[in-house]
């Protein structure tokens, strides 16, 4: 699959999930958080990474979306491409039709599931407690 087609496919799926575009990322603003979906290309191959970055509210007065999407620092940082790495590696010999089907299903199931979890502090606490995930104590005050 060519890069342009791949990026268009990601864009279409983000639109289906009602994400707003911000520069090279997509985001969802909810009552308890702002979650960004960021597609990044490997510097060594045609592999892509799908990062999910969430900042919990209340936000600092100086919160800057442009700065936030640049760095791998956030309250919650997930790498969703690791859940299905073959569809994000464009060197992988998957037919375009199969890759399209898999990416559509991936967004509908995996990405959508994480977006729903990350929009609410209670579901964040529940998911992270249930699965033994770690979140930084400095920001725990925002989970109360």
- Each domain of the chain, given as residue ranges in start order, spans 3-143
Low-confidence ranges of the chain (pLDDT < 50): 138, 140
CA 136 to each of CA 67, 104, 116, 124, 143: distance values in angstroms, whole numbers, following the listed order:
20, 32, 21, 13, 11
pLDDT for residue 106? 97
**pTM across the whole model:** 0.86
Q: 39-42 — which CB contacts under 8 Å span 24+ positions?
A: 39/7, 39/10
- Tell me which residue of 20, 16, 12, 15 sits closest to 100, measured CA to CA: 12
Contacts of 121 (CB under 8 A, 6+ apart): 32, 33, 56, 142, 143, 144
pLDDT for residue 128? 81
pLDDT for residue 71? 84
pLDDT for residue 102? 97
pLDDT for residue 91? 92
């Amino acid at each position: 699959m060519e890069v342009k087609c791949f990026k268009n496919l990601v864009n279409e799926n983000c639109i289906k999930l009602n994400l707003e575009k911000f520069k090279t990322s997509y985001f969802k603003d909810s009552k308890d958080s702002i979650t960004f979906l960021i597609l990044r290309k490997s510097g060594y191959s045609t592999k892509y990474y799908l990062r999910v970055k969430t900042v919990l509210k209340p936000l600092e007065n100086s919160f800057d979306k442009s700065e936030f999407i640049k760095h791998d620092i956030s309250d919650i940082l997930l790498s969703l491409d690791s859940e299905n790495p073959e569809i994000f590696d464009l060197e992988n010999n998957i037919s375009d039709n199969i890759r399209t089907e898999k990416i559509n299903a991936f967004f509908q199931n995996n990405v959508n599931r994480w977006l729903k979890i990350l929009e609410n502090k209670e579901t964040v606490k529940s998911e992270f407690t249930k699965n033994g995930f770690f979140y930084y104590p400095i920001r725990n005050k925002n989970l109360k």
